[in-house]
């Protein structure tokens, strides 16, 4: 099982999302974060960026490697 560490801008602590496989798509990562954070707005979208480079992940089919830290802004 793999995991990705993330931090929601309104919280100080980091959280983790787990998944099976060698990577997760940006779309699936957003779904998992929204479910874990109880975000239910149908027109809500998360902006996900690499915590090390601050580069935004823009393509919905982008593959994100496990054990990567990301920020939701």
- In order, the DSSP letters of 39-57 are ---TT----EEETTT-PBP
- What average pLDDT does this structure show over 53-57? 85
More confident residue, 37 or 44: 37
Split at pLDDT 50, 70, 90, the class of 18 is very high
DSSP β-bridge partners for residue 48 = 72
Question: And the tokens for 70?
Answer: 């990301």
pLDDT score recorded for residue 72: 62
In the chain, the DSSP E strands lie at 2-8, 15-19, 24-25, 48-50, 63-64, 69-72
Mean predicted confidence (pLDDT) in 19-36: 91
pLDDT higher at 51 or 2: 2
């Amino acid at each position: 099982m793999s995991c990705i560490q993330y931090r929601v801008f309104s919280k100080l602590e980091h959280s983790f999302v787990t998944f099976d496989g060698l990577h997760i798509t940006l779309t699936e990562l957003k779904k998992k974060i929204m479910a874990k954070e109880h975000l239910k707005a149908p027109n809500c979208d998360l902006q996900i960026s690499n915590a090390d480079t601050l580069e935004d992940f823009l393509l919905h089919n982008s593959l994100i490697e496990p054990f990567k830290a990301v920020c939701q802004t």
